[in-house]
Amino acid sequence: MTQPDPHSPARTIGYLAVIAGVVVLGAGSFAYAAGWLSPSRLTPTKLVSALAPPSGPALGHRRNHAKGVCFSGVFEANGTGTEVSRAGVFARGTYPVLGRFNLGTPDPDAPDATVRVRGMGLQITAPDGAVWRTAMINLPFFPVATPMAFYDLLKASHSTDPGAMASFTQAHPEFARFGGWAKSAPWTTSYAEEAYNSLDAFLFVDASGARHPVRWSLLPQAPVSPVTNAELTRLGPNHLEPEITARVGQAPQRWTFNITLANPGDETDDPSKAWGPDRRMLTVGTLIVSKIEPERDGPCRDINFDPTILPDGIAVSDDPFPAARSAAYARSYDLRASETQYYPYHLQTAKSSTP
């Protein structure tokens, strides 16, 4: 029997066609992932670009929550959480944590008193190495109901059209709640006096495999002394970082870790709707922050507090935010990790030195 000639022109053309097919398929997948084939699709690139101020992003920094400071300490679990989750970090014990206090702004130099949203990125590591990351904020509910609405909000807030915000608020009535909170909620002069809330709903999975929809909150054990915005402004543009450094230098700071269980029928897919106060609450332990380090050389700088990095025993729910956030945080991380030569970057100096 004659063997086929591997070098025949027909065979070569066949190989080339297969290679071309693979290249076209690959390019098609990239184009799909990038959103070029469906311009109305929300992509991480679009979301992250929309966060930047009109003058451009602060290169080398997180594209949101850019101003912040690292902390470390422990999570002391009291064992109560094992009722609803089999995650190792809920077994009675003490587990190392690493985190970041931050302000919800794309500007790493924003004056403290100009930023309403304060946040905490937190990583808890179980003895078997399983890691739980969460990024929480001090609002009691998220300003908008969907990732697309968040994108529309960013676009409206940077728009030169004077009617853009009015049209946005008309289309998203839930945003008015945030406006009310921002106007009336007191300010504090310390990261240690803030509560930090997951807002997104997750599922806890217990030892029997049963799933429990939950949200979580860290409540400050430090006494809270509310101040006005004018009082905070008087303390200067960069008060919060030295304040928390000095406070933790004197004594570790503590937060009570509370889990809120959904009532049957509670919506889990909309973080703009707070669950009422009658929900069952479990106190699962205490976060103890014992060391503060500047972001520049601190252990949090190169961490992506992606809310979908979850240990066995915690899973995402039908809340659409964590997946959108995960993709956007990865995009932000990729950008800042490739721009380390610009860090720390100052938007104002960059703007004034632009010809």
Footprint on this chain of ligand HEM (rule: CB under 6 A): 47-48, 51, 62-65, 68, 100, 102, 119, 121, 135-137, 142, 147, 150, 199-200, 271, 304-305, 321, 324-325, 328-329, 332-333, 336
Q: 14: which 2 tokens?
A: 């066949």
Choose between 48 and 97: whose C-beta lies nearer to ligand HEM: 48
Tell me the closest approach of the beta carbon of residue 255 to ligand HEM, in angstroms: 14
Q: Distance between CA 62 and CA 68 in Å, rounded?
A: 10
CA distances from 283 to 127, 150, 202, 296 (A): 21, 31, 17, 34
Q: Distance between CA 215 and CA 265 in Å, rounded?
A: 15
Choose between 104 and 311: whose C-beta lies nearer to ligand HEM: 104
Tell me the closest approach of the beta carbon of residue 82 to ligand HEM, in angstroms: 25
Tell me the closest approach of the beta carbon of residue 235 to ligand HEM, in angstroms: 22
Choose between 63 and 86: whose C-beta lies nearer to ligand HEM: 63
215, 202 in Cβ contact below 8 A?
A: yes
Q: Distance between CA 216 and CA 93 in Å, rounded?
A: 19
Choose between 72 and 332: whose C-beta lies nearer to ligand HEM: 332
* Residue 156 Cα to chain centre, angstroms: 21
**Catalytic-labelled residue, pool 7, 61, 65, 172:** 65
Q: Distance between CA 150 and CA 145 in Å, rounded?
A: 8
Q: Distance between CA 211 and CA 75 in Å, rounded?
A: 23
DSSP states of 320-345 as a string?
A: SHHHHHHHHHHHHHHHHHT-GGG-S-
Choose between 191 and 305: whose C-beta lies nearer to ligand HEM: 305
Reported as type and span, the H/E element at residue 44 is helix 44-51
User: Would you call 65 a catalytic residue per the annotation?
Assistant: yes
Rounding to the nearest 10 degrees, give the CA dihedral for residues 140, 164, 34, 49. -70
Tell me the closest approach of the beta carbon of residue 252 to ligand HEM, in angstroms: 20
- Which among 221, 229, 175 has a CA at the least distance from the CA of 194? 221
* Residue 186 Cα to chain centre, angstroms: 23
Choose between 142 and 168: whose C-beta lies nearer to ligand HEM: 142
Tell me the closest approach of the beta carbon of residue 200 to ligand HEM, in angstroms: 6
137, 182 in Cβ contact below 8 A?
A: no
Tell me the closest approach of the beta carbon of residue 343 to ligand HEM, in angstroms: 12
Q: Distance between CA 156 and CA 179 in Å, rounded?
A: 15
Beta bridge pairs of residue 68: 102
Tell me the closest approach of the beta carbon of residue 187 to ligand HEM, in angstroms: 18
Choose between 82 and 260: whose C-beta lies nearer to ligand HEM: 260
Q: Distance between CA 69 and CA 100 in Å, rounded?
A: 5
- Catalytic site positions: 65
